[in-house]
Amino acid sequence: MEYVVSDPARITGLLAALQTHWRLEEDPAETLNRTFVDTFDWSVYLSGATLEWRDTPPRPSLIRHGLDQADAPLAQIAPAPPAFPADLPPGPVRTRLMEITDIRCLLPMMHIETHIRTFELHGLNDKADHPADHKAAHKTVAHLTIEASRFRDPRGGRVGELQVRVRVRIEHGDEDHVKATLKDLMGELGIVSAHEPILLEALAAAGRRPADYSSKLDFQLEPETRADLVTKQILRGLLTTLEANLDGARANLDSEFLHDLRVATRRTRSALSQLRGVFPMAVVAHFKEEFAWLQQITGPVRDLDVYLLDFAAYRQSLPAPLGADLEPLRDFLLAHYAAEQRRLAHALAADRFTRLLTDWRSFLQAPVADASNTPNGARPIQHVANQRIRAMLKRVRREGRAIRAESPPEDLHELRKSCKKLRYLMEFFQSLYPQGQCRALISLMKGLLDNLGSYQDLAVQAAHLRDLAQTMRDEAQAQTQTATLLAMGALIGNLLGRRQAARDQFDRVFADFLSENNQLAFRNLFDRQPSP
């Protein structure tokens, strides 16, 4: 049982009221320091839990609580807050975290210091209405804690007091009577049940909310709003996502910061190129060039991230002796990773990047002119969205139908780029269409893109590994060079085999995309309001 006390002065009245029913014995006071942790994208919270590290010597621990408090907490020893779930020793919390996320780091979301007074409630007091025998008078019927907490927000730096919390753990055998008595007492004193975990109260007090970051697109748009206003709204959202990931990408906290930054950059470039005639051509050309530069400078670290994230799978894909011979490749990648990360951090702190962000936000925040001097700026966004989606859908169908067994890989790569542009357009404008129907077609596009992405990525990885093998031989980095190069050759063969399997699946996947039912769904959704 847990309660919150908005007025700390009521604690005195509560203790006095309790003593009319039970004899209270107070234990020595304690101070509990807790750090609540989660991933940057709140994967623990979104899984229905909070995660706290308790600094309680000599056995500091990590504890997972369900938000609904229906299940018993999970706990295990943790000498310090872990950087990654994989850093934890085997235990129930580690197991649950690895099911949720294994590549995102755990960040401190809130620090809470709690001063705890603990009381044992013994038997019935002489002043009670019901007499108690000697044995009952010494029996512990419940444990009660009064917790006064103070929060410190590690992100915003805000500090403050939280509501006092009263917790009661009732011993078996007295539940009904103790619960009924406490309910009456709390009601008389105006003390209410706690309806949310202390973390949520602390976040609200700090002016924050859980799950305050997501890379998913969720723009709420009105169909008759001018296209230039809506496009700026979308681009501002993408810029917010990009900026939210900057510090994590610079510090290399985990690979997903850079990944989300690059996705926001790619979506920005796509919006600039696809929403033609909304902004002046000179403005579009300038910012397309700058965001292409940003995509280029972030590429080398992301490529290395992919290799390192997939390295365990690389090893497992080969027979055991060959897999072990890949270790010098891992060492080589890590050595180059540090240098590339330094270059990236330097570029993200350079004047060109700072100027890009400043100029871009100034443009996006500037009001649009009453009379647009571009072909599509003042048109209703519904018309522009329909027109652009139809055009990209036509291109995807044309490029996909032209692919034959003898088509070069470049043709599939061009189709992939067109599919991405179509998917981004549908995601940007999904709120303009019936939700279920649009999401079903976005899911269809994701299936096609998964196939094309596997084909392209496996081809690129195989080509890069060939280049790495040559570089390693030139730099004499492989201690057991012959064995490592042979293992890399086997891995390249494995990747090319998987690439061919993806290519063999393409015809079936694209035929499903072209099915009469799916194409009818596209027409029904995006031909509803023909452009004037």
Average pLDDT of the chain? 91
Going by pLDDT thresholds of 50, 70 and 90, the confidence category of residue 532 is: very low
pTM: 0.89
Q: Which two tokens stand for residue 530?
A: 């023909």
Residue 169: predicted pLDDT: 86
How does residue 473 score in pLDDT terms, banded at 50, 70 and 90? confident
Average confidence (pLDDT) over 382-386: 96
Which among 522, 327, 354 has a CA at the least distance from the CA of 438?
A: 522
198 and 160 Cβ atoms separated by less than 8 Å: no
Summarize pLDDT for 184-212 with one digit per residue, the tens. Answer: 888 888 888 888 899 999 999 999 999 98
Q: How confident is the model at residue 368 (pLDDT cuts 50, 70, 90)?
A: very high
DSSP string for 398-435: HHHHT--TT--HHHHHHHHHHHHHHHHHHHHTGGGS-H
DSSP labels, 202-221: HHHHTT--TT----S-----
- Rounded distance, CA 480 to CA 328, Å? 8
Distance CA(165)–CA(145), nearest Å, equals 8
Q: What is the pLDDT averaged over residues 226-239?
A: 97
The pLDDT, as a whole number, for residue 478 is: 47
Peptide bond into 89 cis (omega under 30): no
Say if residue 472's pLDDT is above 90. no
What average pLDDT does the segment 43-65 reach? Answer: 92
278-299: per-residue pLDDT in tens? 999 999 999 999 999 999 999 9
31 in Cβ contact with 114 (< 8 Å): yes
Confidence of residue 42 (pLDDT cuts 50, 70, 90): very high
The closest of 323, 329, 322 to 469, measured between CA atoms, is: 329
- The SS3 call for residue 367 is coil
Torsion region of 69: left, alpha or beta (phi above 0 gives left; psi -120 to 50 gives alpha): left
d(CA 488, CA 498): 15
Alpha-carbon gap, residue 7 to 59, rounded angstroms: 34
Question: Above 80 in pLDDT, residue 252?
Answer: yes
Q: Hey, what domains does the chain have and what are their CATH numbers?
A: 2-205 (2.40.320), 227-526 (1.40.20.10)
The Cα–Cα gap between 408 and 424 comes to: 25
Output the pLDDT for position 173: 66
pLDDT at 6 (0 to 100): 83
How wide is the angle at C-alpha 36 spanned by C-alphas 30 and 41, nearest 5°? 175
Among residues 257, 217, 266, the alpha carbon closest in space to that of 237 is found at 217
